[in-house]
Structure 1
Amino acid sequence: MKLSEVKNHLQTLEQLDFYLPNSQKVESHFHVTEVGQISKHFIDCGGVVRVEHVVNFQLWSADDVDHRLEPKKLMHIIELSEKVLGIQDLEVEVEYQAETIGKYGLDFQDNHFVLTTKQTDCLAKDNCGIPAEKPKVKLSELQAQMNGGRDPNSGCC
């Protein structure tokens, strides 16, 4: 989800809720401790130089159970970040503390934000010799190859 989409949803909400990918609700007293833009400049395993940019939200739950972040307050933080930091309309990535800091994508469903799982991937499969898709082999063809091309049901062996 892009930052502009987050802002559009914030304008329609009376209450700000985030849910984890397992449908567990993030505590209502969470804080958004950071809004920023992260740039990642790297070389993939195939030797290609890449640059990625995302908007980053960091969610944090404290012992302050009386606190509740309102949609208008988050909108103000985002607008201030755009003005002061020059944040662009990019995909939003969310950091949230679990066993360690987890990185999530962001979606919007049923009037609340949902953290979505992210996966690692090889960006240079063609250079690494990794097939794009596993070849599909019929078991009968594999058995025929193992039997030197002879059909085990032919009665010849």
Structure 2
Amino acid sequence: MKLSTIKDILPTLDNVAFQLENGTWVPEHFHVTEVGVVTKHFIDCGGTIRTEKVVNFQLWNADDFEHRLKPARLLNIIRLSEDKLGMEDADIEVEYQTETIGKYDLEFNGNHFVLRNKQTACLAQDACGIPAEKQQVNLSALKDRACCAPGSDCG
């Protein structure tokens, strides 16, 4: 989700709620402790230099059980961050503490925000010698195709 998208969604909401992809809810007393820009400048295994930039939200749970972040407040935090940090309309990455600090992509399902698990990937598969994924064929689907009879000269 891009920053512009969350800015469009927030004014339509009564509450801000986040749910992990596995169905676990982020406790409703969470805090957004950081909004920032994270730039990753790196070289992939194929030797290509790359730069990635994301808008980062950090969610944190405290013992402040009465805290409830309202949509207008989060929108104000985003606008302040845009003004002070010169943020671009980049993809949002959310950091949230589970067993360790997890990084998640952000989606909206029409009711609440969903933290989608991020996956690693090789960006230079051709340079690494990783073979292209082979097409899976169900052998039972081949039974209707013409085939050679044993002992025939068709092959």
Distance verdict in 2 for CA 1:137–1:129, change over 3 Å: farther
Instruction: Map 1:72-87 onto structure 2 (within 5 A).
Output: 72-87=72-87
Are residues 1:129 and 2:129 paired? Answer: yes
Looking at structure 2, the residues matched to 115 and 44 of structure 1 have their Cα atoms a distance apart, in angstroms, of 26
Q: 2:67 is matched with which residue?
A: 67
Aligned-residue offset at 1:117: 1.0
Aligned residues: 143
3-state DSSP class of the match of 2:12? coil
Looking at structure 2, the residues matched to 56 and 40 of structure 1 have their Cα atoms a distance apart, in angstroms, of 12
Instruction: Map 1:139-150 onto structure 2 (within 5 A).
Output: none
Aligned-residue offset at 1:98: 0.5
Looking at structure 1, the residues matched to 14 and 45 of structure 2 have their Cα atoms a distance apart, in angstroms, of 46
TM-score (normalizing by structure 1): 0.85
Distance verdict in 2 for CA 1:8–1:133, change over 3 Å: same
Aligned-residue offset at 1:152: 9.6
C-alpha RMSD over aligned residues: 1.9
3-state DSSP class of the match of 2:58? strand
Unaligned runs of 5+ in 2: 140-148
Q: Moved runs in structure 1, 4+ residues, more than 6 A?
A: 151-154
Distance verdict in 2 for CA 1:138–1:10, change over 3 Å: closer
Q: Identity, % of aligned pairs?
A: 62
Unaligned runs of 5+ in 1: 140-150
Looking at structure 1, the residues matched to 61 and 50 of structure 2 have their Cα atoms a distance apart, in angstroms, of 34
